């Protein structure tokens, strides 16, 4: 592993603080981190006006780092599908065989489910597709209508875990359709997410790529108490997979490492996978000590 890449995987502990229970932040250190979460609100500005102003002056909008930010992507068609479903899967592809999705969240959530779920998910908003994939979307009339339209057209349509059809008031319960089930998904999800990030922060969206590079060497942190795997758990006990993958993409854009080497690094390198799992409070200080007097 080259020296530059090694530094990316093992950055020094940053002497910075992130608030966990308040909307204050140590201003003298704010240029070293860029927390993000919402695709609707600018997280740094929400935390502290000066903090937000710093990144805004650099032309960086923290909303773009959210997986739910509505930036359409083209990604290679790599799905392993069941017999008879290939043609239906391909309707989400262009003439060159690339899948087309409205956001990274669409691609990520759809990658673990079958054709019926995928076709249903493609026209949902980013928020709706996240809820559907996470099994918490309440099936309203508009969703039942869409399902009935798919059924009447002869296309695959989503059904509940037990195979029964959705009724109004049900909550989504899609089933992982990968050959290896949830075990396979847990092994592949980092690769899937990185493929989405590579597409989003590329020449497909020059402005987004430019903003990612404008973050310099700052820690990118999905700062939320709602997720301890992809985010930091709000208090640093989370692993922040998403922020780390964004940092990898940033370094890839600045390096001469080819795509295959990076994909191998992201999916197979044991040191890298260990780095993913380290909680953020091993790299960044949370909850600054109270100074009395």
Two tokens at 275? 């780095």
Two tokens at 20? 């966990």
User: Where are the chain's structural domains?
Assistant: 3-68+205-286, 73-179
Give the CA-trace dihedral at 194, 200, 204, 210, to 10 degrees.
-110
pLDDT at 214: 95
- CA dist 97 → 74, 79, 89, 121, 162 (Å): 10, 11, 11, 19, 33
pLDDT at 140: 96
Over residues 152-182, the pLDDT tens digits come to: 998 889 999 888 999 999 999 999 988 888 9
Task: Inform me whether the pLDDT recorded for 132 exceeds 70.
Answer: yes
Q: What is the mean pLDDT of the chain?
A: 80
Per DSSP, the residues of 138-167 read: B--HHHHHHHHHHHHHT------TTSPPP-
Task: Inform me whether the pLDDT recorded for 27 exceeds 50.
Answer: no
Over residues 45-68, the pLDDT tens digits come to: 887 777 788 889 999 999 999 999
pLDDT at 293: 41
At a CB cut-off of 8 Å and minimum separation 6, what does 277 contact?
Answer: 239
At a CB cut-off of 8 Å and minimum separation 6, what does 192 contact?
Answer: 107, 108, 111
Say how far apart CA 91 and CA 253 lie, in whole Å: 31
Two tokens at 248? 């990898």
Q: Decide: pTM greater than 0.75.
A: yes
Strands 33-36 and 219-222, by their bridges, are parallel
pLDDT at 32: 72
Query: Which candidate, 232, 239, 240, 208, places its Cα nearest to that of 287?
Result: 232
pLDDT at 281: 83
E-state strands within the chain: 14-18, 33-36, 73-76, 98-101, 219-222, 284-286
**Residue 144: phi, psi to the nearest 5?**
-65, -40
pLDDT at 117: 93
Say how far apart CA 92 and CA 72 lie, in whole Å: 12
């Amino acid at each position: 592993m080259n020296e530059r890449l090694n530094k990316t995987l093992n950055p020094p502990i940053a002497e910075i603080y992130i608030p966990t229970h308040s909307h204050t932040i140590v201003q003298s250190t704010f240029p070293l981190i860029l927390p993000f979460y919402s695709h609707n609100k600018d997280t740094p500005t929400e935390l502290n006006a000066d903090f937000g102003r710093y990144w805004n002056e650099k032309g960086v909008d923290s909303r773009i780092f959210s997986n739910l930010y509505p930036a359409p992507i083209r990604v290679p068609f790599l799905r392993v599908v069941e017999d008879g479903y290939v043609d239906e899967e391909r309707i989400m592809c262009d003439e060159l065989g690339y899948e087309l999705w409205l956001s990274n969240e669409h691609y990520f959530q759809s990658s673990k489910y079958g054709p019926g779920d995928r076709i249903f998910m493609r026209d949902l908003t980013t928020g709706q597709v996240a809820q559907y994939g996470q099994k918490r979307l309440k099936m309203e009339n508009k969703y039942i209508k869409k399902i009935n339209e798919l059924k009447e057209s002869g296309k695959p349509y989503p059904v509940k875990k037990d195979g029964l059809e959705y009724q109004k008031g049900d909550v989504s319960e899609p089933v992982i359709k990968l050959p290896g089930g949830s075990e396979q998904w847990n092994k592949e999800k980092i690769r899937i997410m990185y493929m989405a990030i590579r597409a989003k922060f590329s020449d497909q969206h020059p402005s987004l790529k430019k903003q990612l590079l404008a973050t310099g060497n700052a820690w990118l942190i999905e700062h939320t108490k709602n997720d301890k795997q992809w985010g930091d758990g709000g208090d640093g006990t989370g692993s922040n997979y998403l922020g780390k993958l964004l940092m990898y993409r940033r370094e890839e854009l600045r390096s001469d490492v080819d795509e295959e080497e990076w994909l191998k690094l992201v999916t197979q390198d044991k040191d890298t996978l260990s780095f993913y799992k380290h909680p953020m409070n091993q790299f960044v200080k949370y909850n600054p000590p109270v100074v009395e007097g």
